[in-house]
Amino acid sequence: MEKIGTILLSTLKKSRLNKRLMEARIFVNYESMVGEKIFEISKPIFIQNNTLFIGVENHIWVHQLHFLKPELINSINSNLPRPLVKDIRFQVRDIKKVKKTKHDMKVKEDQHIEIPEKTMKMIYNICQTIDDEELRRTFSKLMIKDAKFKLKKGEKSCLST
């Protein structure tokens, strides 16, 4: 009898979701990957064609981080099962790390976010490649939650292609 982890891993590899999960790992673990000081002045925005786009507070930090690019790529890739990031591009963005109260979070959760039909079709199409029904349903919920989160943040495109 196979272990559930082995089955899940092989299913993920077959459905090509493994890369998406590694990309998500960067966003979730960004602080531990780059360190507290860099985390304070930057945040990952999106990944496209193995290029990580990072929003930075100002032009001075963009210039400074440009010199640290090889170390940042190495640090991020060393925290992943296999290297994913080949390049980093820095963009000046408004990086506000405001601590939110429980009340602020509750109000934001209560807001209804409508996901565009095109995005929902894309989520449906991606999830159809998963054979296991329970895994498909769980992954679909995760993608919908991610799309809502990105829409709340104000991103125009909630799915990277």
Domain identity same for 31 and 57? yes
Domain identity same for 80 and 4? yes
- Give the tokens for residue 29: 């673990």
Amino acid identity of residue 67, one-letter, is F
Q: List pLDDT tens digits, range 51-66.
A: 999 999 999 999 999 9
* The most confident of 62-66, 90-94, 137-141, by mean pLDDT: 62-66
Beta strands in the chain (DSSP E): 42-48, 51-56, 87-92
Q: What is the pLDDT of residue 78?
A: 95
Of the pLDDT bands very low, low, confident and very high (cuts 50, 70, 90), residue 110 is: very low
Domain boundary, last residue among 56, 72, 97: 97
In the beta sheet, which residues pair with residue 87? 51
Amino acid identity of residue 140, one-letter, is S
DSSP per residue over 78-124, as a string?
A: HTSSS----EEEEEE-----PPPPHHHHHHHHHS--PPPHHHHHHHH
- Domain coverage including residue 117: 98-161
Q: What is the side-by-side order of every strand in the sheet holding 51-56? A: 42-48, 51-56, 87-92
Q: List pLDDT tens digits, range 68-90.
A: 999 999 999 999 988 999 999 99
Number of domains in the chain: 2
